[in-house]
Structure 1
Amino acid sequence: MDSKELDTNKTDRIVSALKGLLGAIPYGGSLAGEIFGNIIPKQRLDRFAAYIKELSSRIATLEENDLRWIEKLKHSSSNLLIYELSIKYSLETNSQILHNSFASVVFKAVEKNEKDTVINEKILRTISELTEEEIIWLIWFSEPSVLFYETEFQTRFKKILSPHSRSSGNSEDDRIHNALQDQYILNLHGKGLLYRKSVNVKNKTVSLSSGDKPPELKDFSITPYGDMIVDALYNEDFFGRIVI
């Protein structure tokens, strides 16, 4: 049996264990009904399967400790709650980025056991309110800025992160790209994940408000809570390296 087949068998075993944990979740019967008995059960089932695949791939990186991770999840009511919430949020989206982000939060919550359940609940809820593009931009703001250097993460998500012209004669595609980018940044700011810095105008420091002008990337920085979100959802294998 080659290594690829072994990896497949291991992932299948993890997937089966995660699905089996539905019965261990308090009120798991109703959760299972929500997944499999919805008006559009096929779509919900596909979303559930996609999320479980992302979580299984994270657990599989533990090599010989994957069963220990499953046991830690199974025997902790707090961990099971986080697992249940991640499933509920995953049913609301087809996004692989969001599924991977939910999986990272659950994986780290069980493996590291560093944050209280209420904090992990808050983190999951916040991520569920973000779009794919907002997640990518939030990660970008967490990067150390290096002139003339493009990280693996920036290369992987160049379509979202590349600047478009803002000149008066720019194309419709440019205008749409910029309008959406502005909204992503302002949404992150509104959720307390970015803060808007002050700038010096004619030797007078003023605070920028959203109504003064279109948002510029240099005017914003990530907040401590934004850093918490990135730390919880970031998976280098999925998003690519964000440092040199």
Structure 2
Amino acid sequence: MIDKTNKTSVGDVAHSLVKGGLGTIPVIGSLATEIFGLIVTPPLEKRRAEWMNEIAEKLKALEEKKIVDFHELSNNEQFVDVVLQATTLALKTSEKEKIKAFQNAVLNTASGESPDQTVSQIFLNQLDSFTTWHIKILKFIDSPRLWFQKANRTPPSYMAGSISAVIKDAFPDVKNQDDLLEIIWNDLRAAGFHRTSDIKTTMTGDGTLSERTTQLGKQFLEFITNDEG
């Protein structure tokens, strides 16, 4: 049985840090601290509870399948580091896909299917800086043909086109957001997850559906993806 006392520790610490931090700022009085607590604490506590409960349930499922051993995990410094870092970062966002990715990183580390400690820390920080759209587009360019297949959609048939055009076909919500796509594309390239410089370069139709991710990009996707999660 999971100790319920441990489930509240992260939220308690977060709440204490928030109130303690505000209390150290002379300009902010007790009224402001209380109001801030009333506004921030309820959703923070909800996020914390959902995160801890889901992680506990999924770790328990892995333990029942003999994939992980709780005693070994308690002595696994990399796992503890990832749990602490992922928990801190996951509580900062309401984006479900990002929270799921942080959970998967924890599960993969527990299962021994994660990169080394340094790369794991870098990947978690990178995930923190990304939006859901960064993740969606990275997954798409990892294998556009497979993406369309899984979505039960027919890939566009261009004589010539661009990566930007095929992304817009895949995700109509970004059809009129060229500036946003440029930012996301450049962010993914700066992270080393692809090497294509210009998202608008004209190429063959087959070229628009080519895989774009680097080995580092694939490693990142494996880290934040988990079939058990």
TM-score range, shorter chain: 0.5 to 0.7
Q: Secondary structure at 1:62's aligned position in 2? A: helix
CA gap of 1:192–1:67, structure 2 versus 1, over 3 A, is: closer
Equivalent residue, structure 1, for 2:13: 33
Aligned to 1:19: 7
C-alpha distance in 1 between matches for 2:188 and 2:122: 15
The aligned amino acid for 1:91 is L
Q: Percent identity?
A: 14
Distance across 1 between alignment mates of 2:5 and 2:65: 14
The verdict on how the C-alpha distance between 1:151 and 1:164 changes in structure 2, with shifts beyond 3 A counting, is: same
Instruction: Tell me: CA distance 1:146–1:180, structure 2 relative to 1, closer, same or farther (3 Å).
Output: same
Change in Cα spacing, 1:134 to 1:223, as seen in structure 2 (3 Å) is same
Whether contact under 8 Å (1:54, 1:100) holds in the other structure is no
Q: CA deviation at 1:233?
A: 0.5
Give yes or no for contact 2:7–2:53 (8 Å, CA) kept in 1.
no
**Structure 1 residue 52: deviation in Å?**
2.2
Note if 1:162 corresponds to 2:170.
Answer: yes
Classify 1:87/1:81 alpha carbon distance in 2 versus 1 (closer, same or farther; 3 Å): same
Tell me if structure 1 keeps the 8 A contact 2:115–2:223: no
Give distance in 2, aligned partners of 1:113 and 1:48. Answer: 25
Cα deviation for residue 16 of structure 1 reads 3.8
After superposition, the Cα gap between the structure-2 partners of 1:55 and 1:77, relative to the gap in structure 1 and judged at 3 Å, is same
Q: Where do 5+ consecutive residues of structure 1 fail to align?
A: 1-12, 23-27, 166-172, 197-207, 239-244
How far apart, in 2, do the equivalents of 1:182 and 1:117 lie?
31
Cross-structure match for 1:199: none
**Is 1:134–1:184's contact at 8 Å kept on the other side of the alignment?**
yes
Change (3 A) 1:92 1:150: same
Q: Which runs of 5 or more structure 2 residues have no equivalent in the other structure?
A: 19-36, 155-166
SS of match in other structure, 1:222: coil
Residue in 1 that maps onto 2:220: 229
CA distance in 2 between counterparts of 1:71 and 1:153 reads 43
Cα deviation, 1:151-195, whole Å, max 9, x if unaligned, reads: 15989xxx9872549xxxxxxx8423x443333222211222111
CA contact (8 A) 1:104 1:234 kept: yes
Q: How far 1:220 sits from its partner (Å)?
A: 7.3
Verify: 1:109 aligned to 2:109, yes or no. Answer: yes
Return closer, same or farther for 1:154/1:70 CA change in 2, 3 Å cut-off: farther
Q: CA deviation at 1:32?
A: 4.3
1:35–1:150 distance in 2 versus 1, CA, 3 Å: farther
For the Cα contact (< 8 Å) 2:86–2:106, is it kept in 1? yes
**Mapped partners of 1:15, 1:144: distance in 2:** 44
Q: Aligned partners of 1:44, 1:106: CA distance in 2, in Å? A: 20
Tell me: CA distance 1:18–1:125, structure 2 relative to 1, closer, same or farther (3 Å). farther
Determine if contact 1:97/1:132 at 8 Å carries over to the other structure.
Answer: yes
Q: Is the 8 A contact 1:55 1:100 kept in 2?
A: no
1:223 maps to amino acid: T
In the alignment, which residue of structure 2 is the partner of 1:185? 185
Compute the displacement of 1:53 (Å). Answer: 3.8
- TM-score when scaled to structure 1? 0.62
- In the alignment of these two chains, the number of paired residues is 193
Look up the SS of the partner of 2:92 in the other structure: coil
Tell me which amino acid in the other structure corresponds to 2:213.
I
Secondary structure in 2 aligned to 1:221? coil
Q: 1:53 to 1:142 in 2, by over 3 A?
A: farther
CA–CA separation in structure 1 for the residues paired with 2:202 and 2:46: 38
Which amino acid in structure 1 is aligned with residue 149 of structure 2?
E
Q: What RMSD over aligned residues (CA atoms) do the two structures have, in Å? A: 3.9
Q: Give the whole-Å Cα distance in 2 for the aligned partners of 1:191 and 1:115.
A: 16
Letter in 2 for 1:19: K
1:82 lines up with 2:82 in the alignment? yes
Match of 1:3 in 2: none
Q: Structure 2-normalised TM-score? A: 0.66
